[in-house]
């Protein structure tokens, strides 16, 4: 996995990997990696984060739609509980 936070690396980047084999021959691998811009998806509306509930009450909440400007993300939702 190759990752960068630098916006100036967006585009084609050349990476050279060098090593020697058992016969002391130089091995070189030239990789040309296409670095894509990628920002996190944003919800199109504000997400409700405060709820008033009674003991035993069940609440169903649907997350608002989200948008990905680059079109290269898949939605994943992680749910957890909060202790009072």
pLDDT tens-digit map of 14-67 = 999 999 999 999 999 999 998 887 777 788 898 888 888 889 898 888 888 888
Q: Residue 5: is its pLDDT beyond 70?
A: yes
Residue 72 lies in a domain: no
Residue 17 lies in a domain: yes
Which position has the token pair 């202790």? 83
Residue 28 lies in a domain: yes
Residue 16 lies in a domain: yes
Residue 40's pLDDT is 76
Q: Which domain holds residue 52?
A: 7-67
Whole-angstrom distance, CA of residue 60 vs CA of residue 26: 62
Count of structural domains, the chain? 1
Residue 68: other Cβ atoms inside 10 A = 14
Q: Is the pTM of this model over 0.85?
A: no
Could you tell me which residues come within 8 angstroms of residue 44 by beta carbon, excluding any fewer than 6 positions away?
64, 65, 66, 67
């Amino acid at each position: 996995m190759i990752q960068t936070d630098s916006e100036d690396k967006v585009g084609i980047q050349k990476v050279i990997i060098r090593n020697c084999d058992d016969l002391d021959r130089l091995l070189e691998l030239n990789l040309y990696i296409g670095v894509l811009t990628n920002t996190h998806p944003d919800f199109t509306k504000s997400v409700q984060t405060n709820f008033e509930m009674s003991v035993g009450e069940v609440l169903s909440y649907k997350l608002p739609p989200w948008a990905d400007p680059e079109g290269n993300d898949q939605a994943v939702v992680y749910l957890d509980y909060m202790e009072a």
